């Protein structure tokens, strides 16, 4: 039974699809959700904050944006009547996938539900795949929900 469901979110439509699937699963199992937002040095170039620079002020903007993403996700989960908590992780030496795996272990998650872009070929080689790394390293099962299709794909 999946009673502790970890859901990494980044504010994208893809992560929203993963969250929607996790909410449905938590309602069916009587589970709880932990929302996790991780930002790392590698993802800073694409982070949705205008005029970002790696200064204390810029880092503060990233934290504010992360808290905003978590608050929006918390509102959705609470509206569905599912218990929820949140966690923000950041670090220059931290990869997103490492942060997700570490939180799954620390929180004793039963399942990770993750929205994924489903990149293949050159796109995956150039951009990498946090989802792939999470599936490979996760101590618990991972449910991937593909963006744009909404159909969950069991990964492990």
**For each successive 10 residues of the chain (156 residues), what is the average pLDDT?**
94 93 97 92 55 64 89 98 95 82 97 79 49 91 78 47
* Element of type H or E holding 40: strand 32-40
Class of domain 9-154: alpha beta
Tell me which DSSP letter residue 79 carries: H
What pLDDT was estimated at residue 127?
37
Helix spans in 30-139 (H): 56-79, 96-106, 121-127, 130-137
Cα torsion through 47, 48, 50, 56, rounded to 10: -50
Task: Output the pTM of the full model.
Answer: 0.83
Residue 7 contacts residue 111 (beta carbons within 8 Å): no
């Amino acid at each position: 039974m999946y009673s502790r469901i970890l859901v990494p979110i980044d504010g994208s439509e893809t992560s929203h699809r993963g969250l929607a699937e996790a909410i449905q699963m938590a309602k069916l199992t009587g589970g709880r959700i932990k929302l996790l937002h991780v930002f790392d040095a590698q993802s800073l170039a694409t982070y949705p904050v205008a005029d970002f620079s790696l200064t204390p002020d810029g880092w503060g903007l990233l934290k504010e944006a992360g808290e905003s993403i978590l608050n929006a996700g918390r509102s959705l989960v609470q509206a569905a009547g599912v218990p929820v908590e949140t966690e923000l992780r950041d670090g220059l030496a931290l990869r997103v996938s490492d942060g997700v795996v570490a939180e799954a272990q620390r929180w004793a998650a039963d399942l990770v539900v993750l929205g994924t872009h489903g990149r293949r070929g050159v796109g995956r080689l150039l951009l990498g795949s946090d989802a792939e790394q999470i599936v490979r390293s996760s101590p618990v099962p991972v449910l991937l929900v593909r963006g744009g299709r909404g159909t969950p794909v069991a990964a492990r």
